[in-house]
Amino acid sequence: MATAEVFVRYDLKKELAEKKVAAGKDELLQKVMDAVVNGDEDNIVAYVNEALTVHDPLVVIREGLVKAMDEVSRLWDEGIYYLPQTIISSDTMLAGLEECEKKMGHAVEKKGVVVTHTAEGDIHDLGQQIVNALLRANGFEVIDLGKDVPVDDVVNAVKQYKPAMLTGTALMTTTMTAFNKIANRLRRDGIEVPFVCGGGAVSLEYVTSFDLGIWGKEAQQAPPMASDAVAGVSWTKMREKYNS
């Protein structure tokens, strides 16, 4: 069968650059970085423990694990990495972090708390799971309420954990209607937490129709949004930044 100009394979038009790992401070830290960037879950624990024989845990975290995740983020942003490579690197990074925390005897102080949930009636929580993974890999504490979460439970969790940011995921328009109910309840109680909503049929128009709402177009926006929320940026300013 001959091929006429019925379609254009734009995906083949641009060959992307090879990945390049930013150099670590020494060989041991480089091994940690390479393991995270390459998603080497089988060996990360061994490499981290090797690095911990020489370096302070905070150095391994800062100069190895975090630096490697920065590199992964760059590779994803540039389209060299796909989502699975990023998720596996995140899993690897968290396994390494756990080793460092064991050595320290306590958990690393997190950047802030984010409560995440999938709307009542909705069992499609894959988007939320991706958001959770990206937030954790970027140093945030995630309170994962799971899927099909009633409005009351979300409101109560916000009161209990006092998060810097709340997220909601929904696939269907008939389940996303829980979001404005949550926002109204929170506002009524004087809680001004930025409430990032996204997924499936959730639209900018809908999310910006109620107070607190900020539309999240893609999962990878979650870490920078959480950073803004932790820094005290209000929901109105966040909406202006991400939704206008």
Partner 1 sequence: MAKFTSMAYSSADEMIFGTAKKPVKYGRDFEVGGGMVYPEIVNHPRPGSEETKKSLMREYEKMTNDSLERAVTLGFPGLQIELEHVWQMTKNPDWGGDIAGQTVRQQQDWYQKYGIKSAVRATIADNRKPEQENIRDCKSLELALKTFELSAKNGADNLSIESVGGKEISDYSIVRQDIRGVLFGIGVLGSRDVEFLWKQIVEIANKYGATPGGETNCAQANVAMFMAGGMLDKSVPHTFAAVTRAIGAARTLTAYEMGAKGPTKDCGYEDPIIKAITGIPIATEGKTCACAHADLQGNLIMAVTDLWSNEAVEYHDMFGGTTAAVFTEILGYDVALMNSAIALGKAKDLQEMMIYSDLYRDVHSFVVAPAQAYEIGKAIVTNNTDYYSRARAGAICAAKLILGDPKMLLSKFETEVLQKTLRELESFPDNEGDFIEQCAAIYTKAVPGFKLANYGL
Residues that bind partner 1 (CB under 8 A): 1, 3, 6-7, 9-12, 15-16, 76, 79, 81-85, 87-88, 91, 121-123, 125-126, 129-130, 146-148, 172-177, 201, 206
CB of 123 to partner 1, least distance (A): 6
Q: Do residues 180 and 213 lie in contact, with contact meaning Cβ atoms separated by under 8 Å?
A: yes
CB of 119 to partner 1, least distance (A): 10
When the beta carbons of 67 and 147 are compared against partner 1, the nearer one is 147
| DSSP output for 8-27 | --GGGS-PPPPP-PPP-SSH
How far are the Cα atoms of 198, 215, 240, 243 from residue 176, in angstroms, in the given order? 9, 12, 22, 18
Q: What angle do CA 196, 200, 202 make, to 5 degrees?
A: 45
When the beta carbons of 10 and 109 are compared against partner 1, the nearer one is 10
When the beta carbons of 6 and 53 are compared against partner 1, the nearer one is 6
CB of 10 to partner 1, least distance (A): 4
When the beta carbons of 218 and 240 are compared against partner 1, the nearer one is 218
Residue 162: left if φ>0, alpha if ψ -120 to 50, beta else—which one? left
How far are the Cα atoms of 49, 72, 93, 219 from residue 103, in angstroms, in the given order? 9, 25, 16, 32
CB of 128 to partner 1, least distance (A): 10
CB of 230 to partner 1, least distance (A): 25
Amino acid at 27: E
When the beta carbons of 116 and 175 are compared against partner 1, the nearer one is 175
